[in-house]
Structures are given as C-alpha cells and as structure tokens.
Amino acid sequence: MQIRIYYEDTDAGGIVYHTNYIKYCERARSEKFFKNNFTFDESGYFLVTKLDAKFIKPAKLGDIIEVKTIVVQMKNASCTLEQSIYIGDEKIFVANITVAYMANGKLSKVPKEKMEVFQ
Amino acid sequence: MQIRIYYEDTDAGGIVYHTNYIKYCERARSEKFFKNNFTFDESGYFLVTKLDAKFIKPAKLGDIIEVKTIVVQMKNASCTLEQSIYIGDEKIFVANITVAYMANGKLSKVPKEKMEVFQ
Amino acid sequence: MQIRIYYEDTDAGGIVYHTNYIKYCERARSEKFFKNNFTFDESGYFLVTKLDAKFIKPAKLGDIIEVKTIVVQMKNASCTLEQSIYIGDEKIFVANITVAYMANGKLSKVPKEKMEVFQ
Amino acid sequence: MQIRIYYEDTDAGGIVYHTNYIKYCERARSEKFFKNNFTFDESGYFLVTKLDAKFIKPAKLGDIIEVKTIVVQMKNASCTLEQSIYIGDEKIFVANITVAYMANGKLSKVPKEKMEVFQ
C-alpha cells in the first residue's frame, strides 16, 4: 500500500509528524478489510491495545511511502502485526501492533472470515 | 476560548495548516455545549452546511489564539455564526459558518435548550 | 484523484469530520504539483486566502471519493479554483478556493511554470 | 495538563482515534517548553525515536483527560519519559517515549537548559 505525504502530514519541523506513521499503519490494516468488502460494523471491530514502535528516519513532503504488514501472532481474540514503512528500499519506521477484537463491547473471538484477511 | 498551537497543528510551511482554523471554530462551538452539560447525542446534532472563510494571517507554533463566536442568524433548523480567531488584538481568521440541526437523519427544528447555548 | 475514507477521517457522528473535505482539496492541488515534479520550495508557495464551501452530503468510512478541480480565475498573484468532491456521480461537497502566491514572505506573481500546473 | 476531547479527536467507532493519545503526549511535552519560554528552534529540537504504548481504555467525546509525565532516564543526547493519560483517577493510556536531541541535523548533547525542562 502506497501513500503520498501531503502538507497535512508534515509539521513545522519540515518532516512527517510522528504519530502519522501510526495512522498509515491503520490505513493499511483497514484497506485490507475494505478490499475484502468488509464495511464498518459496530457489532465487531479491532482496537489497538499495544504498540511498540521505532522511528528510524523521517519522511518528507511529497515522498511516497509504502506500508508492509506481516502477521507475527494470531490468538483467539487478538492479533499482533509487524508493520514497516519504506521509502523505496529503505525502512524508515517499524512497529509491532496488537489489535484485539471487540464484539458487543467486550473482548471476543475473531471471526474466521476476519482472521483470514490478516493471513 | 483560548487554544495553544502545537506541532500537530503546523505544516512544513512552518505555519498552521489552513484547515485547522476551521477545527478551532468547531472546538469553540462544541465547548459551549460541553460547558452546558450537553453530551454527544446521536438523536440530534449540528452539521456544518456552509462555510465562508477568510485567512488573514497565519498562526505559528507556540502561539495562543482565541476564538470568538457571534450569532448572525437563528432560523428554525439552522444557525449562522461568525467565528473569528485572534492572536492578541489581531484578527487572523474569520468565517461565517452555517450549522443545520439533524434529528433522526433529517433536518429538524433546533430544540430550545440547544438554541439557547448559542445565544 | 481518488481518496479512500479511513477511520482517521471520520468522527463520532459516524461520518467524515467536516474540515477533512478541505484537506482532500489540498491533497488534490498538491498532487498536481508533485506529479509535475515540483517539490516543496520555501522560496515560493501557495497559501489559501479565501474559501467558500457547501457541504452537501457526508461521506462515510470506506467510501472512495473523487476530487475534481476547475480553474475559475487566474490573476497575477492568485488563483481561484472550484473543487468538487464526488462519490460516484453524486456531488457531496463543493468549494471555491482562492490561493495566493507567496515568495520571500510577500504576495508575488505566480511563476509561469506553476501557473501552467493549474491550467 | 488537561485536554478536552472534541469531535476531531474521535472516529466512527465513537471513541478517540488511537494515534491521538500519542499526540496528547506530545502536546504535554511541548507545553512544558512553551511555558518555559522556549520557541521552536530549527537549530535544535527533539525527535521521537521509540514508543512503547498500552491502550487501556478509550476516551470519548467531551471527556477531559489529563497527561502526566515522569522522566525515566536522561542520557546525553536523549531522554526517556513515561507519559500516562487519566480520566479522573483512572489510567487509560501509558507510554514509554524516547526523544533524541537533534542539532544541525545530527544527534547531539541536550543543552542544559532544555534538559532542566524535563526534570
């Protein structure tokens, strides 16, 4: 998944505002679901519960970045992903992100068809 | 209502990203409701339908801005406000903003207690 | 230019937060410059000075919107564009946006090669 | 430091969009500097290099949250902080955040007067 860096993504330091890399990871996760025809469904969705990130090098206005996602661990009610951001061949950000599945307001088993989206 | 400008508000041009002034106006409107003990209520809320804005001078990182709100016109189902942003005595932004009241998914009469918040 | 609506674009009302439509217009303007190999250049850039917008219908999570840009007026130091946002054939937002060209901190003649990007 | 949750902070899930908690931590760090009369200075600034976060419970529209910051470790060129977010007495988010000091584009010793801001 490729993403262009626009003005809104940058800050007065002239580089991408740090939290935005975490947004791009979320865009990449959501895009997988949208591409598989899932729509937003209040009855069951993923929440980020844990995040462990390294900011290696900043991206700048006009850059095209790429988000790559690998499944690290699938559990019954959660999933840990490694999401990396690249500019060309250079890795500029990496995060381990755990998302938990919530249904009817509580932690629940990930439905099989949603688990398959990550795999 | 006073607002501090943080990194997240700025862009690579070194100034506040233009759409954020419109966010600050929304914060000021919402704050009036929160201060009057209104919480978010899906059964009835305001939507921005029209916006006419002039960007006079940019704000910068660390600035403290102030949003001032005047009612221009109250109608049955909508309200037009003039919202201005100042740094000290200097006006840096002004907008006429029309918000319409939606209840059960359609344009509806603004309830009296909500109308009073703007007045 | 097509844009997907992600979680970050929406608010608790379940729809796109109103200022984001104005962000998408900026993305579309910037994309034209990036596609023409312009990079960010502190020595000369466009600032939004005037905005007149109508919010016709909200977009929702997962929607794919399209931004269309027409030049309304070219002046020496500014340019007025009409930018419309569509979902399929349905127009959901339209704005008249005036951008002024700033060089060395003051209003300046738009360079010919940048004027051509809009035309 | 107290922060009100506005519409812009929430997403279609009806709660605060996850990356925003990390923004609030940055606001709290910056506020310390602004309160001590530091302005943005391209010649030397902090970059987030590492982030380890737990999202315990979501905040909602209208909530007032509080960010608390503790210094975990001060090194020559970086600083690790523990930043927690509370609603009343309840901790809803906690992160260990490492910021590195950059001067003239490279990792540098934190100036004494900036180190004192964190302490």
Residue ranges per structural domain of chain D: 2-118
Q: Looking at the complex, does the CB of residue A66 fall below 8 Å from at least one CB of chain C? A: no
Query: Is residue A60 less than 8 Å (CB to CB) from chain B?
Result: yes
CB of C15 less than 8 A from some CB of D: yes
* pLDDT class of D89 with cuts at 50, 70, 90: very high
Beta bridge partners of C64: C4
Which residues of D are designated catalytic?
Answer: 11
Among the partner-chain residues B8, B15, B19, the one whose CB lies closest to the CB of A17 is B8
- pLDDT in the model for residue D43: 77
Give the count of Cβ contacts less than 8 A between chain B and C.
Answer: 56
Query: Considering chain D, what percentage of its residues have pLDDT values greater than 90?
Result: 87
Distance CA B105, CA B60 (A): 39
B52 touches chain C (CB under 8 A): yes
Pick from D4, D26, D62: which is nearest to B7 by CB? D26
pLDDT reading at A40 higher than 80: no
CA distance A52 to chain B (A): 21
The predicted model scores a pTM of 0.96
Classify D57 as helix, strand or coil.
coil
C-alpha count within 13 angstroms, C-beta hemisphere, residue A26: 24
Greater confidence (A79 vs A13) lies with: A79
Instruction: Report residue A112 as tokens.
Output: 């099989």
Instruction: Name chain A contacts of C40, Cβ cutoff 8 Å.
Output: 60-62
Nearest to B55 among C40, C45, C48 (CB): C48
* CA–CA separation, C70 and C82 (whole Å): 5
Encode pLDDT of C76-90 as tens digits. 999 999 999 999 999
Average pLDDT of span D94-114: 94
Average pLDDT over residues D33-58: 91
Statement: residue A114 has pLDDT above 80: yes
Nearest chain C Cα distance for residue D78, angstroms: 30
- pLDDT tens profile B53-91: 999 999 999 999 999 999 999 999 999 999 999 999 999
CA nearest neighbour of A14 among B12, B83, C54, D69: B12
Q: Does C8 contact A23 at a Cβ distance shorter than 8 Å?
A: yes
**Residue in B4, B8, B27 closest to D26 by CB:** B8
Q: Are B58 and B10 within 8 A, CB to CB?
A: no
Q: Tell me what pLDDT residue A47 has.
A: 95
B39 touches chain D (CB under 8 A): yes
Q: What is the pLDDT of residue C13?
A: 87
Find which of A35-49, B42-56, C33-47 is predicted with most confidence, using mean pLDDT.
Answer: B42-56
Q: Is the model's pLDDT at B40 over the cut of 80? A: no
Q: Which CATH superfamily is domain A2-118 in?
A: Hotdog Thioesterase (3.10.129.10)
CA distance B75 to chain A (A): 35
Q: Does D61 touch chain B (CB under 8 A)?
A: yes
Confidence band for D114, pLDDT divided at 50, 70 and 90: very high
User: Sorting pLDDT into bands at 50, 70 and 90, what band is C75?
Assistant: very high
Residues B14-25 pLDDT 10s = 899 999 999 999
Mean pLDDT of the region C36-48 = 85
Q: Given this model, what pLDDT does residue C16 score? A: 97
Instruction: Answer for the pair A51, A95: CB distance below 8 angstroms, yes or no.
Output: yes
And the tokens for A40? Answer: 């937003």
Residue A76 has which token pair? Answer: 């019954």
Q: How confident is the model at residue B41 (pLDDT cuts 50, 70, 90)?
A: confident
pLDDT at B39: 80
CB within 8 Å: B4 and D31:
yes
On the question of pLDDT at A41 being above 80, the answer is: no
Residue A43, pLDDT score: 78
How far, rounded to the nearest angstrom, does the alpha carbon of residue A14 sit from its chain's CA centroid?
23
